[in-house]
Amino acid sequence: MLTTKKENAGRAHAVIGGGCFWCVEAVYRRVDGITDVESGYAGGTVDHPSYEQVCTGKTGHAEVVRVEYDPSKIGYSKVLDLFFLAHDPTTLNRQGADTGTQYRSIILYATEDEKRIAGESVRKAQANLTEPIVTEIVPLEKFWPAEDYHRDYFERNPTAGYCRLVIKPKIDKLDLGPRRNG
């Protein structure tokens, strides 16, 4: 369970959700300065939730990723800038065909500074959008890692339909290229 922003010396964390965690993980694994990405669940009321429980929409959790980054190479605000480019923050409880509260747009902050930066990022992103942003900004209480079979899903299943039709076009659109981190 992750409850702190910093675990490794010189590393920081951001916990965000922008639809299916397979998509978000695949995007951030291609970004310089990102040292690790872990899929999981946050924002809900059930301890140690399973994927099956979260998919019911009854736990209150969102599918999220914990992005570990090197602040000397990329800052929290840049991590969030990519977040707003990598998904549609104007659709409530959905991304594409994925629907339900578990797919909501969410930023979970660990510090008051992260909360402030998240608010600034929303205002910055809103300037480029016509519809209102519905991204939640809430305190990070607990992060629960997803089951192992979710980790590196895109890399392990590049020919699967969801990967070919949803994740790969997103990576191509963002011009992120091959995987760059662990």
Residue in 178, 125, 142, 169 with CA at minimum distance from that of residue 23: 169
Q: Would you say 88 and 95 are in contact if contact means Cβ atoms under 8 Å apart? A: yes
Q: What are the structural domains of the chain? A: 12-174 (3.30.1060.10)
Q: Would you say 90 and 125 are in contact if contact means Cβ atoms under 8 Å apart? A: no
Strand order in the sheet with 136-139: 136-139, 105-109, 12-18, 62-69, 34-42, 143-145
Two tokens at 22?
């397979």
List the Cα angle 29/47/37 in 5-degree steps. 5
- Residue 77 CA to residue 94 CA, distance in Å, equals 24
pTM of the model: 0.92
Q: What is the pLDDT along the chain (182 residues), one digit of tens a residue?
A: 333 444 567 899 999 999 999 999 999 999 999 999 999 999 999 999 999 999 999 999 999 999 999 999 999 999 999 999 999 999 999 998 999 999 999 999 999 999 999 999 999 999 999 999 999 999 999 999 999 999 999 999 999 999 999 999 999 988 887 887 65
Is 163 in the active site?
Answer: no
Q: Which of 20, 23, 55, 163 is catalytic?
A: 20
